[in-house]
Structure 1
Amino acid sequence: MQTSSQLKRLGLFDARVPRYTSYPTAPHFKPGIGAELLPDWIRAIPENEAVSLYVHIPFCRRLCWFCACRTQGTATAEPVAAYLDSLKQELATIKGLLAPGIKIEHLHWGGGTPTLLQPDMITDLTHSILNAVPLADAAQFSVEIDPSEIDEARLDALAAAGMNRASIGVQDFDPMIQEVIGRPQSYEITKQAVDGLRARGINSLNMDILYGLPHQNTARIIDSVEKLISLGPDRVALFGYAHVPWVARRQTLIPTEALPSAEERLGLYYTARDLFLAAGYDEIGIDHFALPSDGLAKAHKAGTMKRNFQGYTEDVSKVMIGVGASSIARYPQGYAQNEPATSKYQAAARDGRLAGAKGHVFTDEDIARGRVIEELLCYFRVDFSKLADELSRPIEYFFTMVDGLELAMPGTTDLSGTVLSIRPEARPVARMIARHFDDYEMNESGHSQAV
């Protein structure tokens, strides 16, 4: 196994290494894509197609210091109500472009803090969504829940709306760490939210936890992981904290001197990982764990798991419609991202226009490289013969992509016949290996800029 110093050299702890929830990644999107092409892309969705729909709620009652998401604080309901009017207008515009019979297979509300919505807002938004695009039978409806921003009335409204999966961010249960990252959230209030969900028959639960936070050590992460496991989530995301104060200015409030070293960070990851495995979770890709009974674990075993803006998913829809400020949509033709500024987004919605601001039109090269990257991050292996058949490409085309990989990332992969696999000890640098196949991150000599 490589030493932690070697892993550090390869960029394991470099926050600039993409997570590859899309290809190309969002920083490579270009202006002039969204509003011009988006109506045609929506009209092109076939009749009776099953799609996914993502709704972005960019408001928070509190702005956590560790978070790099695009959000804005609010102390009142007025700006949220005005924003919901814009969401309803955007949904009405989308409805007018859709072919008959299209239904939602996966519906996700993210943010921000979707549970900041008042009960009547939750009901109103749900009606507007389903009026535009109805839910398919057995659809999955998930909502990101802040345990500090939920109560009985809002839980009742979400259950009545049809939510059947909840996602709760934990980050860390240690009070001192919570104070340093600006995220007070006790185990007791988190358990109260979990109990409230289960009392309403919502038993499908995802939880997120971070490693690499300031003042985190082995004892603290053991305590937090054991508390999280006691809540019985079906799946867990174990994310590495990305300290990017040049992107998220709130992170300047976090003391950099308190962040774990590269060696300590790697140890925290393996400590948490081993606890999840011992508790009976299956390891899924680079940062997820799921009980064998969970849909994600089943999709992983069946080879149907995908990777999108929500991370690993069993969602196989070809279309993800993004609604709300800064939301990103994926169509067979490419990506389109809405205006990130709430004011510009709302102005477009009021005018009956789609709010796309930038995006990317797929090339055949994008599709091929994106599939290689997705396979590597989902399964740590890619069968070029399979992709050659799938994409009608010669096998030599994929072998050319591998040129220079051993030089750039020595000892991390094996090529046996038509199968490229990442060695088990090198899986912590899977994103770095994937970056080698990223044509937008390569330098003129054809080698990854990351090394």
Structure 2
Amino acid sequence: MRPDLAQSYGRHRLPRYTSYPTAPHFSASVCESDYQTWLRSLGARQSASIYVHVPFCRNMCWCCGCHTSITKRHEPIAIYVAGLRTEAYLVAETVGQRQPISHIHFGGGTPTIMTPETFADLIGSLRYWFAVLPDAEIAVEIDPRMLSEPMAEALGYCGVNRASLGVQSFDPVVQRAINRVQSFAETATSVDRLRRAGVGRISFDLLYGLPQQTVSSCLNTVAKCLELHPDRFSAYGYAHIPYFKKHQRKIDESTLPDSVERHLQSETIAEALVDAGYVRVGIDHFALPDDNLAQARREGRLRRNFQGYTDDCAEALIGLGASAIGRMEQGFVANAVSTKDYLARITGDRLATAKGYLLTDDDRFRAEIIERIMCDMAVDLSETSRRHGRDPRLAVVDHSRLDSLIADGVVVIDDGRLSVASGAEFLVRSVASAFDAHLPRSWATHSWAV
């Protein structure tokens, strides 16, 4: 562990680099007609992925950074899902063919807030309008407190084969501080229901840097999770952005750990998982050695998108739902954020595109550098520059940052190849940021680097 480096770099606000450029740079200059043109350019043999956003929960977790709203009634959810089905039709009609689909990811919010019948109708519509491949990964994010046995059975019946369960922390003190009280028994019951329903691939999502959280409580949470033998873990740092997420103002900032403590929590979780036999994938994912994600890492096929690290090689991502973001070869598209605006567009037989970003050649060049750094902890700057027809001497944007990282032993550059030093991987976002030409205009919107 390098607490000295955590202290030096930890309070820099940096993107998580799940895209490049990042969402703060999207604008209304990309509109519905652009997206329609991009969709029509999809090749019939080109596989795509689908992300479905379900922005509803039963109660608000104060640490949440997602676009979601609270409802106790089913009616708003049913109306929204009808909108999703219509959007899927509009997208498919625009594409003009049953596009092959290799991955579907239901995110939220809480996707399983739907009734089993509503979920079955939705995924049936997706299978009707798109050619979902037989070996497609179909993943659903789940709040274990909200998963009934009928819903678990519906997931299995509908072909869901990966479930990502939000755990965050099992420490009751931390749970009360973030307004998310979730017992180990509830989580274990959900895992059992999913496995009995045939949803065999289980992922757990943890958070560190939460109010009242300690290294000891992180270790205890990992130990409890290991009893349930998930295939994967993610361990994200809590992003405290109360100026964007007003519910986070309910968190007492004085109870948040500093950058050194956050680093210790992160590395303690990582060491415990590696000791338990998991492979570290990138900066915040862990997988069993025979898992697809671990295999992609070994074979240099690891990618990064809005869900984090993935083995999804599809170049097109279709976003469905309010605030959903998609990616085409030409650039990014983002739907209207509020469900009201989203539904108004969809019910008017319009795509819900509100903004986006048209990629330049320089963006593509930097996107590849940043993705390889984030995925491989290394990049051949000379070779990447050659393939993009760029001068490698112009690749670096922030020379002072990179020089500082080199001087501190975080980065090594040898014969045009950049590598992140062993033990300094937790600063990979800092390394990637040295190649980000857009960062000076968006730093305030991002989370802490450590």
* TM-score, length of structure 1 as denominator length: 0.94
Offset of residue 87 of structure 1: 0.9
Question: In 2, Cα distance between the equivalents of 1:262 and 1:395?
Answer: 33
Contact map agreement 1:52 1:320 (CA 8 A) in 2 = yes
Q: SS of 1:96's equivalent?
A: helix
Offset of residue 392 of structure 1: 4.1
For the pair 1:229 / 2:226, whether they are aligned, the reply is yes
Contact map agreement 2:399 2:434 (CA 8 A) in 1 = no
Contact map agreement 1:322 1:329 (CA 8 A) in 2 = yes
Offset of residue 212 of structure 1: 1.1
Amino acid at match of 2:365: A
5 Å-filtered alignment, 1:272-287, equals 272-287=269-284
Deviations 1:313-345 (A, max 9, x none): 000100000000000000000000000011111
Structure 1 pair 232–13 and aligned structure 2 pair: CA distance change class (3 A):
farther
For the pair 1:113 / 2:110, whether they are aligned, the reply is yes
Offset of residue 230 of structure 1: 1.5
Question: In 2, Cα distance between the equivalents of 1:220 and 1:3?
Answer: 19
Deviations 1:39-58 (A, max 9, x none): 00100001122110000000
Contact map agreement 2:397 2:437 (CA 8 A) in 1 = no
Offset of residue 395 of structure 1: 4.4
Structure 1 pair 356–196 and aligned structure 2 pair: CA distance change class (3 A):
same
Determine the structure 1 residue equivalent to 2:421.
Answer: 423
Deviations 1:87-131 (A, max 9, x none): 111111111112435211000100000000001101110111111
Contact map agreement 1:325 1:345 (CA 8 A) in 2 = yes
Question: In 1, Cα distance between the equivalents of 2:194 and 2:140?
Answer: 11
Contact map agreement 1:327 1:337 (CA 8 A) in 2 = yes
For the pair 1:380 / 2:381, whether they are aligned, the reply is no
Question: In 2, Cα distance between the equivalents of 1:9 and 1:180?
Answer: 28
Comparing 189-198 with 93-102, greater Cα deviation is found at: 93-102
Question: In 2, Cα distance between the equivalents of 1:43 and 1:235?
Answer: 36
Contact map agreement 2:92 2:99 (CA 8 A) in 1 = no
Determine the structure 1 residue equivalent to 2:352.
Answer: 355
Match of 1:433 among 425, 428, 431: 431
Offset of residue 259 of structure 1: 1.3
Contact map agreement 1:86 1:349 (CA 8 A) in 2 = yes
Offset of residue 213 of structure 1: 1.1
Offset of residue 263 of structure 1: 2.2
Match of 1:56 among 31, 50, 53: 53
Comparing 148-157 with 92-101, greater Cα deviation is found at: 92-101
Amino acid at match of 2:144: P
Determine the structure 1 residue equivalent to 2:315.
Answer: 318
Contact map agreement 2:3 2:263 (CA 8 A) in 1 = no
Contact map agreement 1:388 1:394 (CA 8 A) in 2 = yes
5 Å-filtered alignment, 1:334-349, equals 334-349=331-346
Aligned residues: 441
Amino acid at match of 1:331: M
Match of 2:403 among 400, 407, 410: 407
Offset of residue 408 of structure 1: 4.2
Determine the structure 1 residue equivalent to 2:327.
Answer: 330
Comparing 219-228 with 403-412, greater Cα deviation is found at: 403-412
Q: SS of 1:221's equivalent?
A: helix
Question: In 1, Cα distance between the equivalents of 2:286 and 2:82?
Answer: 38
Contact map agreement 2:302 2:311 (CA 8 A) in 1 = yes
Deviations 1:283-335 (A, max 9, x none): 11111111101000000000001000000000010000000000000000000
* Ranges in structure 1 where 5+ consecutive residues have no aligned partner: 444-449
Question: In 2, Cα distance between the equivalents of 1:125 and 1:158?
Answer: 12
For the pair 1:205 / 2:202, whether they are aligned, the reply is yes
* TM-score, length of structure 2 as denominator length: 0.94
Offset of residue 239 of structure 1: 0.7
Contact map agreement 2:3 2:264 (CA 8 A) in 1 = no
Offset of residue 85 of structure 1: 1.3
Match of 1:44 among 26, 33, 41: 41
Amino acid at match of 1:240: G
Contact map agreement 1:45 1:99 (CA 8 A) in 2 = no
Kindly report the root-mean-square deviation, in angstroms, between the aligned alpha carbons of the 2 structures: 1.7
Structure 1 pair 99–46 and aligned structure 2 pair: CA distance change class (3 A):
farther
Amino acid at match of 2:430: M
Deviations 1:181-228 (A, max 9, x none): 011111100000001111122111111111111111122111101111
Offset of residue 137 of structure 1: 2.2
Offset of residue 390 of structure 1: 3.9
Amino acid at match of 1:7: A
5 Å-filtered alignment, 1:1-400, equals 2-4=2-4, 6-10=5-9, 12-14=10-12, 16-398=13-395
Offset of residue 36 of structure 1: 2.8
Offset of residue 394 of structure 1: 4.8
Deviations 1:427-448 (A, max 9, x none): 22111111111101148xxxxx
Amino acid at match of 1:120: E
Q: SS of 1:19's equivalent?
A: coil
Offset of residue 162 of structure 1: 0.7
* Ranges in structure 2 where 5+ consecutive residues have no aligned partner: 442-447
Q: SS of 2:423's equivalent?
A: helix
Question: In 2, Cα distance between the equivalents of 1:175 and 1:9?
Answer: 32
Q: SS of 1:31's equivalent?
A: coil
Offset of residue 396 of structure 1: 4.5
Offset of residue 68 of structure 1: 1.2
**What percent identity do the matched residue pairs reach?**
38
Offset of residue 393 of structure 1: 3.7
Contact map agreement 1:206 1:233 (CA 8 A) in 2 = yes
Question: In 1, Cα distance between the equivalents of 2:436 and 2:32?
Answer: 27
